[in-house]
Amino acid sequence: MGTKTVASDHVGLGWGLDTLAAIKEDSVTSRLNPYISFDGNARDAMKFYKTVFGGTLTVNTFGDFGTKDAAIAKKVMHAMLETDSGFALMASDLAPGMEYSPGTNMTVSLSGDDGDELRGYWKKLSRGGEVTMPLEKQMWGDEFGQCTDKFGIPWMVNISQPQA
């Protein structure tokens, strides 16, 4: 959720500039971001992703939300990494009894035109994991690669090339 100041084109309504400066609207933007479930190592995974992307990591455990069950009290109920580049990554540990099947139903996609930044992410994500398609120029003109990181999460990286 962000905040935006209402523009001064409402002066014709008789509002003074002081009033206009004080009027703010909450703006809710929609965003699509991955949410990854882990089998007890969400905290370690999110700390790793913070080393890759930087940003601010917030972690809440089941215990933080009042769970008394010692088996899950220290597990992650919700974690969110928000980066300076505008990325958001969310995660949690599964509660007991929930099936864990890493990476079979999603891939995280990183794309853009900042080749140096994206190659840096690629290097960190693929280290200790498996490269399934090398990051290289593809038939559509972009650099593209796929890897699975050391936590079993599949990633796609696409570096857009300038259009002629």
Q: What is the pLDDT of residues 18-46, one digit of tens each?
A: 433 343 333 344 667 898 989 999 999 99
Q: Report pTM.
A: 0.67
Classify residue 156 by its DSSP letter: E
Q: Which two tokens stand for residue 116?
A: 């140096």
* Residue 119 pLDDT grade (very low, low, confident, very high; cuts 50, 70, 90): very high
| Residue 133 clears pLDDT 60, i.e. is over it | yes
Question: So what's the pLDDT on residue 105?
Answer: 62
What is 32-100's CATH number?
3.10.180.10
pLDDT value of position 164: 66
Higher pLDDT, 112 or 162: 112
Q: Which two tokens stand for residue 61?
A: 């455990």
The domain at 103-164 falls in which architecture? Roll (3.10)
Q: What is the pLDDT of residues 46-92, one digit of tens each?
A: 999 999 999 999 999 999 988 889 989 999 999 999 999 999 999 99
Contact between residue 146 and residue 132 where contact means Cβ atoms under 8 Å apart: yes
- Give the integer Cα–Cα distance in Å for 9 and 131: 54
161 half-sphere exposure, CB direction, 13 A CA radius: 10
In the chain, CATH 3.10.180.10 sits at: 32-100, 103-164
Q: Which two tokens stand for residue 17?
A: 């500039």
For residue 97, name the pLDDT band (cuts at 50, 70, 90). Answer: confident
Q: What is the pLDDT of residues 138-162, one digit of tens each?
A: 988 899 999 999 999 999 999 998 7
pLDDT of 12 over the 90 cut: no
